[in-house]
Structure 1
Amino acid sequence: MTRPLIHFTADTGWINDPHGITFHDGRYHLFHQYVPDSTVWAPNCHWGHAVGPDLLHWDRRPVALAPGDGDDGIWTGSLVDTPDGAVILYTSTVQPDLGRGRIRIARATDDSWDTWEKGAVLLETPDDLDLIAFRDPFITREGDRWRMFVGAGTRGGDALAVTYTSTDLEHWDADGVAARRNTAEREPVWVGALWECPQIIEVDGVHALVSSVWDDDVLHYAGYGVGTYSDGRFEAETWGRLSFGGSYYAPSFFRDAEGRPCLMFWMRGVEDHEAGWSSALSVPHVLAARDGRLVVTPHPSLEAARTGRADLGRVEGRAVDLEWTPREAGERLELRAGDVVVAALVRSEDAVVLERAGEDDWSAPHSGGVVRVVLDGPVLEAITSAGVLGGAVQPATAVRAVGGTMTAHFLG
């Protein structure tokens, strides 16, 4: 299978959650979950590392953190760039209870962030919350101290963000539970029994919790809550979804060089096992708050990467940025390989449906207007008025709009 051009993949092996995305000294650093010797997930995760001048073009660097030294797995975490150097706090896992992680620190030992020195285990899974899972620290600055949120789930079905505070990133004080919701609560949106990668953030003056929805070892989608936050406590006023379909998961929050709030997702199912690689990361998206909900739009780096109007009869081996505006139900955007339609986006009365040959249909709500589509070989992303919809597709040789209007540009 053709590799995507602007969606990050590993040279070989498996990748999942992006994390630690940081602009530093004129370039971006991207870290991610990485299993070098497998095309399926395994618990011996590493932290992979890549650098680039923007958020689309990446050079792979040596592994930043690897199992060993008391870690059976180096799972998801967070990076902060301090005046004293870069610091990673990650989930250290140990067999056999991989779900109940420990929080461990590592510090960069060079300016390129290629080499890191592990430090102490700072936190163990707390004993007083009856937890089945504890992982994925997210670090943010709050006044004159640091605050950490850690994803957790209880035996009773409560999804939690457990919180801690520190003045030095080394010594952490427990501060209780920042947010909680039970898996039995399903309206207006269900957000599972465990929050993986919970991130409590401020966007456009609005506080939100962005998380990955997990239940009984099934990874569902990216969800969020919008509400109020004060002194380590988040109260949701409404809940929503950022992603639709079965591909997007593990959104990682970061700010770009201009300070815009952004997300990058893990995209499941984009893979070529024969070529030895599995999974991709999404293009970057800008996050905004609008009318009490969160919305995403492709990052301006995509427009900056446009190289000219696309010849939609010759898209093989190219990345394409499309703006499709369907106006009536039944209008379609078709991806073709020769005479065969391998995938299509179809406008219904209130949604956009992704149809793929031999696969289940996926859909995302859409209230009208432009559907932004990024086609990059074996991966498609469609951004509707409600969120992101996409995943693996058979590479197309041509694109055709059957109804609606469309503009398209090649990306370089």
Structure 2
Amino acid sequence: MGLTTRILIAMLAGIVVGVVFNFLNTSQLLGSGLTGFINGYLTEGLFDVVGRIFIASLKLMVVPLVLVSLVCGACALSEGSRIGPLAGKTVLLYLLTTAVAITLAMVMGLVIQPGVGVEATASAAFEAAESPPLSDVLVNIFPTNPVEAMAEGNMLQIIVFALLMGYAISRCGEPGQRIASFFNDLNGVILRMVGVLMAFAPYGVFALLAKTFATLGMEFILDLGVYFLVVLGTLLLHGLGFYSLLLKLLTGLNPVELLKKMRPAQVFAFSTASSAATIPVTLSTVEKRLGVDNKIAAFTVPLGATINMDGTAIMQGVATVFIAQMYGVDIGLMGYLTVILTATLASIGTAGVPGVGLIMLAMVLQQVGLPLEGIAIVMGVDRLLDMVRTAVNITGDAVVSTVVAKSEGAVSEEIFYDRNYNSVADRAATSS
């Protein structure tokens, strides 16, 4: 059985087990002893420990993988002086997809009107974290201590340091060639480590989803059912429809092939709800299954995990319309245009800040004069939506990586269209 199939089975099994455990807990069909065993030893015990170990093992690989891959990629790109055009195209595409995402979300919200008839909860409260000023954001992109940046997992600073180092290596002649050879060998070792960790992925996915659904259940969706369905529908429309259209128009490649080969990475993103933690899987998938050259993928994937916020932008668009309708506030055309501009720029401006989605939403609501208390209301269903929008985000990273690589002539169509490549990659990862 291939790794992809095992992961999908683990995901479904985790959801089923979690829902069953939640039903047994809430229905009180079991005695206190069995209920305590399920909650204490399985949900908050075994599942929690295995899930957290799995997340920690993924995060372990993020910094070395991003640093080494980017150094290798920057070395190759610097020889042809392609770093500038590559960075420009990548950032432009990420901003474009984010702007389209939030526009689509607000259109869906205005058409379906999920907030009409919903009563605002007066006691709901949300204390917004202070958003960083633009000057600090720009300054903090550049590291003062690269070791500290790596220790804290500051992706933007790591990216800048790796690009500078790769550029310098490519300009150092024979000593630079020796260092570049070392980094290329180290990159191979790190990718093998990723393969070793992937063999344990089904167990981690099962534990994460079992705990999530055992804790939340499904009844939490009912209170905000229309809002939940609008956000979910928009995420699926953007992830399956817009990305497919963008890929087809800009590359001519078959989007169905991309979506099929992205399933393992999407499952990881769904179960971890973290684009950063999914970087090793996304990068491996983009290179080995989609045929994108490492020197392109090593730059676009980590950058996308840091600044590509399409899923979050969709949540912000629908949530803004929902909160405005719920409180009976008409923010007008200029208000909606302000939301599009603010959320698009904030997708870069708040990158790397903990709780980025809620901080961005607070910024958007402040710009159009809507009460921040509305955030506390939509937070009730945000956990599951966060899992879905993370899967959308990494799909966007893969699409933009493929589009940029195609424009640079750095996509292997033979790998992209090889339908047997999934099983080969699965066996390689499993055997590792």
Confirm or deny a common fold (TM above 0.5).
no
More strand by share: 1
Task: Give TM-score scaled by structure 2 length.
Answer: 0.20
Higher RCO (CA-CA < 8 Å; seq separation 6+): 2
Say which one has the larger Rg.
2
